[in-house]
């Protein structure tokens, strides 16, 4: 049952943004809702700004169901943009600012947005209607708040979150307002977060999962969200001291940098009581060192874009088991299935699948993702049996703790960023100088893994590592560019003639 401080949330009805903003304005109108490099907004100011964004979109001809692509830096604008897009009944599509032009072009071609909000429109080339940040801020400031908001179906598509795939091209995961808001509602209901918390958002808010974990949860806890504009440790420490941050969720690389930077001291993180790490594994020794230095041991979790975000998590009120990513969230049922989609015995490895609870307090509260944008066959395959088939391998122990054995076939996790080798292999393989290639990860103390590309040159041609690194830089985000190119005369092969990736992994030192 909820505590006295917990919000009164009717989980029998689909969640939508408008009632949450109305509640925050009624209960804590003058409290800081969100703060970034450009300034801060109270809850009443946030609600007003969201209504102005909705009006600006309406004035630009954006209709309900239209996609609005957003490629803005971490600041207040991107939070208000998502909420204003939802207020208009449109669909938010985050476009990561560090993507290379061809990668951005692929996303835009795929989702076909009616509007593209970009930090610097001059860099975007031949795109749909592009509005730069300065013009956008001016339009929002001049708009009269949209009132009333149009009726919006909270179970309809409200966001498309692109995730990499084994085909080498990203695919768009469709989520509703209800699903994007549900995690924060459940966390607040259970007392995991409250109005005294200050969240620090470190990673890019173009990623829907980060919107879910930070501002969308903050609004429901009636808390405050601080948005870091840079992920360097000195900047983060300044944000933590300045805003009294109690909670952050970071990738292990950021936690590692906070631990090792000579200018970061224990008192800098004194207010942090709820640190979390995710996106990659963090060695237990590093977690213990973090606790020893800063007073709180980071908890970890299992999350993915198809969630959206958390499916299982470690809770600080239970002993943290080394190697575990915690237990499933109360509104999500997680099963480990064999190749015939049958549950495997406790302790055995199978595919991690998840969906709505079928009985109890949380039965039917969580609907799965709505599928992949424009990919009905893949959607049907992934959602067969009413559950999301993650492709990840894992196991449960006798206490219900979930362990990840392998994060999707061949996935490389560099500094918390998911990298599928097929993306890089597609770019390298398109060059006529490359006969074949194979991309693998190599363990790295700081980043978790780095990218290593093995290349067999085409017969009779010359190509250098610098040539291929340059090719990757022109076509891929910087975090996907290989740290090393290794040339081989021939690849080891499986009995079927395929490249023996496991042997290549050994060659890389993985």
User: pLDDT averaged over consecutive 10-residue blocks of the chain (510 residues)?
Assistant: 48 91 97 97 98 97 97 97 98 93 92 94 73 96 95 97 75 97 93 94 94 96 96 95 95 87 95 86 80 91 93 83 90 95 94 95 94 97 96 93 79 86 89 92 90 94 96 94 95 75 86
Sheet bearing 301-304, strands edge to edge: 301-304, 309-313, 327-328
Q: What is the 3-state secondary structure (H, E, C) of 253-321?
A: HHHHHHHHCCCCCHHHHCCCCEEEECCCCCCHHHHHHHHHHHCCCCECEEEECCCCEEEEECCCCCCCC
Residues 6 or more apart whose Cβ sits within 8 Å of residue 4: none
Tokens matching residue 451: 């990218």
Sheet (strand 484-487) strand order: 434-444, 448-457, 484-487
Task: Return the pLDDT at 243.
Answer: 97
How far is it, in rounded angstroms, from Cα 357 to Cα 365? 7
The pLDDT, as a whole number, for residue 280 is 64
Main-chain dihedrals φ then ψ at residue 110, nearest 5 degrees: -75, -45
Tell me: cis bond preceding 355? Omega within 30 of 0 counts. no
Residue 91 three-state SS? strand
Which pLDDT tens digit goes with each residue over 85-100? Answer: 999 999 999 999 988 8
The size of the chain, in residues, is 510
**Residue-range domains of the chain with CATH:** 320-409 (2.30.38.10), 412-508 (3.30.300.30)
- Residue entry with tokens 């179906």: 153
CB 9 within 8 A of CB 189: yes
Torsion of CA 293, 295, 301, 305, to 10 degrees: -80
3-class DSSP assignment, residue 497: coil
Alpha-carbon Rg for the chain in angstroms: 23
Burial of 235 (0-12, 13-18, 19+ CB in 10 A): middle
Tokens read off for 384: 């067969």
Q: In angstroms, rounded to a whole number, what is the distance separating the alpha carbons of residues 510 and 507? A: 7
Distance CA 85, CA 91 (A): 6
Q: Give the integer Cα–Cα distance in Å for 279 and 381.
A: 25
Please state, in angstroms and rounded to a whole number, the distance separating the CA atoms of residues 246 and 239.
11
Is the Cα torsion angle 326, 327, 333, 338 positive or negative in sign?
Answer: positive
Angle among Cα 310, 316, 319 to the nearest 5 degrees reads 110
Residue 330 pLDDT: 94
Predicted TM-score (pTM) of this structure: 0.87
Contact 164, 153 (CB under 8 A): no
Bridge partners of 445, per DSSP, are none
């Amino acid at each position: 049952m909820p505590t006295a401080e917990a919000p009164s949330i009717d989980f029998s009805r689909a969640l939508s943004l408008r009632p949450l903003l109305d509640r925050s304005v009624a209960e804590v109108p003058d409290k800081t809702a969100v703060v970034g490099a450009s300034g801060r907004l109270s809850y009443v100011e946030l609600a007003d700004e969201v209504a102005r964004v909705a009006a600006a979109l309406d004035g630009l001809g954006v209709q309900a169901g239209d996609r609005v692509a957003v490629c803005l830096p971490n600041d207040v604008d991107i939070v208000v943009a998502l909420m204003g897009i939802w207020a208009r009944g449109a669909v938010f599509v985050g476009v990561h600012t560090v993507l290379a032009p061809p990668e951005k072009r692929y996303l835009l071609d795929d989702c076909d947005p009616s509007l593209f909000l970009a930090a610097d429109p001059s860099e975007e080339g031949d795109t749909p209607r592009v509005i730069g940040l300065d013009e956008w801020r001016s339009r929002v400031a001049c708009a009269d708040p949209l009132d009333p908001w149009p009726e919006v179906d909270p179970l309809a598509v409200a966001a498309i979150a692109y995730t990499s795939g084994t085909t080498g091209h990203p695919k768009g995961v469709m989520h509703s307002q209800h699903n994007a808001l549900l995690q924060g509602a459940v966390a607040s209901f259970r007392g995991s977060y409250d109005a005294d918390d200050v969240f620090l958002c470190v990673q890019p808010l173009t990623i829907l999962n980060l919107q879910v974990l930070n501002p969308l949860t903050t609004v429901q806890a009636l808390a405050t969200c601080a948005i870091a504009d840079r992920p360097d440790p000195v900047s983060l420490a300044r944000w933590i001291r300045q805003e009294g941050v109690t909670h952050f969720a970071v990738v292990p690389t950021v936690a590692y940098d906070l631990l090792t930077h000579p200018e970061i001291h224990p008192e800098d993180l004194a207010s942090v009581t709820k640190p979390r790490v995710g996106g990659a594994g963090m060695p237990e020794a590093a977690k213990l060192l973090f606790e020893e230095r800063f007073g709180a041991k980071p908890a970890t979790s299992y999350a993915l874009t198809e969630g959206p975000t958390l499916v299982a998590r470690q809770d600080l009120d239970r002993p943290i088991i080394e190697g575990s990513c915690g237990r499933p969230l109360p509104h999500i049922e997680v099963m480990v299935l064999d190749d015939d989609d049958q549950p495997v015995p406790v302790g055995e490895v199978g595919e991690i699948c998840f969906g709505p609870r079928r009985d109890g307090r949380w039965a039917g509260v969580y609907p799965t993702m709505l599928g992949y944008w424009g990919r009905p066959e893949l959607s049907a395959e992934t959602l067969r049996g009413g559950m999301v088939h993650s492709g990840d391998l894992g196991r449960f122990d006798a206490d219900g703790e979930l362990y990840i054995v392998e994060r999707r076939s061949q996935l490389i996790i560099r500094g918390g960023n998911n990298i599928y080798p097929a993306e890089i292999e597609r770019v390298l393989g398109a060059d006529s100088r490359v006969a074949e290639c194979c991309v693998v990860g190599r363990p790295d103390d700081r980043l978790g893994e780095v990218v290593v590309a093995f290349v067999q040159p085409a017969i009779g041609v010359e190509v250098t590592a610098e040539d291929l690194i340059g090719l990757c830089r022109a076509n891929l985000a910087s975090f996907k560019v290989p740290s090393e190119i290794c040339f081989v005369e021939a690849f080891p092969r499986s009995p079927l003639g395929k490249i023996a990736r496991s042997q290549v992994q050994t060659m890389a030192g993985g």
